[in-house]
Amino acid sequence: MSDIEILDDSFEPKAVHDHFMELTGLRHPSGDEDEVRKHVADCIKKIEGVEFLYYEPDAKYPGKRVIVLRRKGSGNYASAPYVTLQAHMDMVCSPDKNIFPLHIFGYSENKGPKWIKALKESSISSPEENIQDPDKGTTLGADDGIGVATMLAILEDSELKQYPIECLFTVQEETDMGGAANYDKNLLIGRRYINLDAEVANTIIYGSAGGRTVQYEGDVTLLPVTEDFITLELSVLNLRGGHSGVNINNGRLNAIKVLTGVLIRLNKRLTNLDVTGEGIRSYDLRLISMNSLTDQEIEEIIEARKKGDIKIPTVNKIPTWAKARIAIQRAENYDFKDDFDAYCEALKAQSQPEEDTFCWKVEEINSVQTPLDEASTDALLCLLQQIPNGVIHMIPSRPEVVEISSNLAAIEPIELNDGKVVIMSLNRSSNSDSMEALIQIQENIGKLFKYDVKNFDPYPIWQPDDNSVLLNKAKDVYRDKELYGDETRATVIHAGLECSYIVQNYGDEIDCISIGPTIVNPHTGGERLQADTVGTFYKAVTRIIQSLF
């Protein structure tokens, strides 16, 4: 057992800490950022010399819900060109959107660095026991609350008041990048652009992957079972998960793939292993449903459909849990439970140390749902097995960076879609040809199983520019021994960043980088912020600004 010490939650500089803590008390899931929008506006009204270029309090369209601010330079910099800072006001909410206000703790493990983390309300009475368990935590919102807090602190910083600064606060970054994709590009006049949404303190990002959401949809045939069948609910729980770009190559399990694998292994028609004595057997099982959506996500989809809208489940995080209901013969109930346990135990042992909190559950339940027939059961399981998931390949010239990947992100319960199966994936790629090739593979897999496959919500690739003046200025700043010295890195990232839309809007006119403090396990209940990197990050931002004048 590691030595955990619960500390106060403070970190430096105080202005960033205070603004961030205020944000953690405000509701701001993607698409519902109005509390933070108002808070930012109220803060700006108190700062001398800052002008609202654009703020529409009652706006609904994502491109209209951005905030654009500008503060003119003074003295020698009165007519100097602006530096643009940008962060997004929304956050991924896990396990659901009912986590506000967040419950924040600082802690240190084995007297190592201090971390900032959020716990569920049910876990805050014993933080020492729960602080390291992702299932006991919530997302922290450091992605990108620290970016928002840093921009507000910079505008308040008396040592920076002479520099001309422009700020863009965006919305819906975590779902469809709706703010960055749809704002009026004439609002910005700065052409040196610093995005504050990176997650490794010593690293400067200057390129990112594009993305595309993929949907598989197919019909199934239902067939009743005889009275000697019972219903079991199988749950795979508490996987590590993570960001489906940043963490896709960390060897983490995908809950939908895990549940699919065990159901194929225990399905007699697909894996006909008649084992006598000790060993995992196979069974005559039929699927009733599979699901990786929370109750809240299901409710939101239903409400959106009532209004004639479309609501897409979260696709940018690796699934940490999934459930299936199956029909199985009553006489095989206990043997099946034992074999399900044995399979999961073996998989957990193979997946250490990354999946140390992996757990599972089998429960007999009452169900009136009619199961899928054998052919539909087997086709769905084989489809899920064949759908690409994880790293496809690396960038040949940068073998440490993923070029293309796919995340099997969600499966919706059949009853939500009038007897249809709907499965969602998110593709990421820094090469457009590779993206098209992957889409072709996915479409062909769909055809084999008679599922329709379509793709939508594309976002662009941010191609790196090794000759960027801003990049090279930032490298010089980072290499100072007081900051990151020889540990400085500059790279491209296998994730989507709003910079891709900025570069698309302004082309060669704009110079762009992305930086941030160290944030581990974003998009999960295990999200945590390394406290001592915030102060160094703030110094880096301010020194880059100063170096440009």
Joined together, the tokens standing for residue 540 give 């880096």
In a domain, 214, yes or no: no
DSSP string spanning 383-409? HHHHS--EEEEEETTEEEEEEEEEEEE
Give residue-wise pLDDT tens across range 201-250: 999 999 999 999 999 999 999 999 999 999 999 999 999 999 999 999 99
Tokens 């199934």 correspond to what residue?
220
Is there a single domain that holds both residue 469 and residue 431? no
User: Does any domain span residue 215?
Assistant: no
Query: What is the reported pLDDT for 352?
Result: 93
In the chain, the amino acid numbered 421 is V
Q: Averaged in consecutive runs of 10 residues, what is the pLDDT profile of the chain (549 residues)?
A: 76 96 97 97 96 96 97 95 98 94 93 93 88 90 97 97 97 95 96 97 97 97 94 96 92 97 96 70 95 93 90 92 96 95 96 93 93 97 98 93 97 92 97 97 97 95 95 97 95 95 95 97 94 97 97
Domain housing 303: 220-459
Whether residue 129 is contained in a domain is answered as yes
Q: Which residue has the tokens 């090739």?
A: 437
Side chain identity at residue 87, one-letter code = A
pLDDT of residue 310: 86
* Model pLDDT, residue 1: 36
Same domain, 497 and 448: no
> And the tokens for 297?
């996500």
Q: Are 252 and 354 in contact (CB under 8 A)?
A: yes
Pick the last residue of a domain from 412, 429, 459.
Answer: 459
Q: CA-CA distance, 512 to 160, in Å (whole number)?
A: 21
Q: Total structural domains in the chain?
A: 2
pLDDT in tens, 51-88: 999 999 999 999 999 999 999 999 999 999 999 999 99
Whole-number pLDDT of residue 479: 97
SS3 53: strand
Please report, for the domain that includes residue 341, its CATH number. Answer: 3.30.70.360
Whether residues 227 and 201 share a domain: the answer is no
Hey, what are 310's tokens? Answer: 């479309």
Q: Collapsing DSSP states into helix, strand and coil, what is residue 96? A: coil
Q: Please check whether residue 317 is in contact with residue 256, taking contact to mean a CB–CB distance below 8 angstroms.
A: no
166 falls within a domain: yes
Q: What is the pLDDT of residues 313-342, one digit of tens each?
A: 989 999 999 999 999 999 999 999 999 999
- Planar angle of CA 323, 257, 401, nearest 5 degrees: 135
pLDDT at position 5 is 84
- Is residue 102 domain-resident? yes
Which token pair is 428?
């990421």
Pick from 525, 505, 499: nearest CA to 177: 499
Long-range residue pairs from 336-341, CB within 8 A, at least 24 positions apart, any chain: 336/232, 336/266, 336/283, 336/285, 336/362, 337/232, 337/362, 339/266, 339/280, 339/281, 339/283, 340/234, 340/262, 340/266
Q: Which of 151, 28, 45, 47 is nearest to 92 (CA)?
A: 28
- 295 in Cβ contact with 284 (< 8 Å): no
